[in-house]
Amino acid sequence: MMNEHWKKSTYSTGAHNCVEARAIDQGAAIRDTQNRHLAALSLPNAEWTALLHALRTR
């Protein structure tokens, strides 16, 4: 489970095309590791769960 710290995707290859995620009260926030200073995308619980499911079933 995520906490207040950003976690890098385990699928990141070190090629600088990574995403990070962290838990927020409403669901999860995700951001680009190359542009951390820019905004993060916030997803409600249902959308975060659907995204994870879609990525796992690819």
Q: What is the pTM of this model?
A: 0.75
In a domain, 11, yes or no: yes
Structural domain containing residue 11: 7-56
Question: Structural domain tally of the chain?
Answer: 1
pLDDT of residue 8: 85
CA distance 24 to 44: 9
In a domain, 27, yes or no: yes
Quote the tokens at residue 56.
């796992």
In a domain, 35, yes or no: yes
pLDDT of residue 55: 87
Q: pLDDT tens for residues 7-44?
A: 987 777 766 778 899 999 989 999 988 888 898 999 99
pLDDT of residue 4: 66
Quote the tokens at residue 46.
């249902």
Report the candidate in 32, 36, 30, 26 with the shortest Cα–Cα distance to residue 51.
Answer: 30
